[in-house]
Amino acid sequence: MAAPDSIKPFSPEETQKILHHLQQPAVFMDMTRGWPVLHWTAEHLSGCLGDKLVRFRLGRKDETNTPLFETQCSYVEAKLADFLSWTRDQAGTDVGPFFKYPKSEYWAYADYKYIAVLFQDQPSMFEDIKWSEFGYEGRNGRESTLWIGTEGANTPCHLDSYGCNLVLQVQGRKRWHLFPPEDTVNLYPTRIPYEESSVFSQVDVLHPDLRRFPEFQGARAHVVTLQPGQEVDDMARVSEAVTKAVVCALKSAPSDDNSDNWLNPTEEGVASHNENMQYVNLAVGAFAQRQRGLCHGKLTQDPRDTHPVKRDSRGQIRKNSDLVTDSVPFSVPFGPHLTPVRCQQDYSPGTRGTTTKDPEASSDTAPKTKLASAVRVHQGKYECIHGLTQCKPCDCADGTSENSSVDYEEPVHTVITTNDLLDCLVHPDIIACVTKLLLERHTYNKPQEEDKPLI
């Protein structure tokens, strides 16, 4: 059971304090629950925009070891409906100006679209975005930009020289490669092509030419894949995290029978075991946090009190005496609802397949189109955005069968392969049992034992 939309991990005041003290990128979780913008899929926006033309940037999917700057891209003005038809790659479908660009060879990106301009005749849509809940009073979609792209769409690595960015992922996935400011020299900055407040890197950080840019080997990337802001069942999230950890651990191990192409093409890379175990712990922690919020969140406020409530990092309402003043040292409350994007110690410039996706991204409700849409408010850090994808739903079979024959057959022993073992270990019934055990042992309150007399 999900927590009520009104219960958020951090109050606006707490969020502002967190943003002020953060010294590294971080991902907020459960903060946008209930925001209407979470329904802004590409299909929904196509209905809202109708025949309005949107400018798309198109780039070739070739790997050239050099950044593909905006000046080197092609551009088309098209309806969002044309864009959707093009992404579905259906023969005989009208795709408008996209017909010149084979989908197998090009990606497309409607980037940096100001919502205030895009929906100037529908100003009520501005209210679907509630940045005020992050402490930016009065800010909504009017101050935000919209980004919609296909798989592979990307922005060259660059430095935004102003403030900070808040990004809400609405549909699909977006991978970010982030570098700390002190790594600027390793990224070979350039102002050509020129763009106000933007400093570009000469390095293609996904496929770097280390002969031309040897110092890039010293760059320390923080890589994170943002997921849609929609909520999923917390227990299902734990189950998916467990499944991923087991599958990756076994299939990544060297073995004579582990030579098959086991990773689905919709997956962009194999996460390390440490990363997968972090997701298991985050999923279990989020489940426990939600349970505490359900137990305590609705019972501690006087219904006659109309003043805004302040909550602690567990989602519980604080008393005035509990509030932290500016004179008290502040520690950023990392946990299930605020995840730091840590430096990838094993970041290998030539192989970029090590970042992960949240287990929820493979849920059966995921749309089949490989699209991503994101909303962004700009407030500078180096960044490279890459890999906009959406996982396709998977068809699962439990692998069991019944045999009504009573004839006896001599059992024949066959070699048990890694895949045979996996079929059993990640069987839905087994995963459900493991999930239940994990949650019982690590989240549920155990009954207190009565004091017993010493003998």
Which residue stretches of the chain have pLDDT < 50?
1-2, 230-232, 266, 297-325, 350-369, 378-383, 386-409, 448-455
| Contact predicate 160/189, CB 8 Å | no
| Contact predicate 333/18, CB 8 Å | yes
d(CA 360, CA 99): 34
- What tens digit of pLDDT does each residue of 276-306 get? 888 788 878 777 766 665 555 443 333 333 3
What integer pLDDT is reported at residue 290 of this predicted model? Answer: 62
Q: What angle do CA 382, 357, 88 make, to 5 degrees?
A: 95
d(CA 297, CA 301): 8
Give the closest residue to 80 by CA, choosing from 119, 57, 112, 48.
48
What integer pLDDT is reported at residue 198 of this predicted model? Answer: 81
Give the closest residue to 220 by CA, choosing from 180, 261, 280, 262.
180
| Contact predicate 246/426, CB 8 Å | yes
From the number of C-beta atoms within 10 Å of its C-beta (0-12, 13-18, 19+), residue 20 rates as exposed
Q: CA torsion sign, 433 to 434 to 435 to 441?
A: positive
What integer pLDDT is reported at residue 413 of this predicted model? Answer: 55
What integer pLDDT is reported at residue 268 of this predicted model? Answer: 55
| Contact predicate 242/434, CB 8 Å | yes
Residue partners of 119: CB distance under 8 A and separation at least 6: 48, 125, 126, 141
Give the closest residue to 291 by CA, choosing from 445, 441, 435, 431.
445
pTM, to two decimals = 0.62
Alpha carbon 55 to its chain's center:
25
What integer pLDDT is reported at residue 221 of this predicted model? Answer: 93
What integer pLDDT is reported at residue 303 of this predicted model? Answer: 32
- Identity of residue 129: I
- Structure tokens that stand for 340 in this block: 């730091």
What integer pLDDT is reported at residue 16 of this predicted model? Answer: 93
- What tens digit of pLDDT does each residue of 215-270 get? 999 999 998 888 875 334 567 678 778 888 888 888 888 888 877 767 755 455 78
Residue partners of 303: CB distance under 8 A and separation at least 6: none
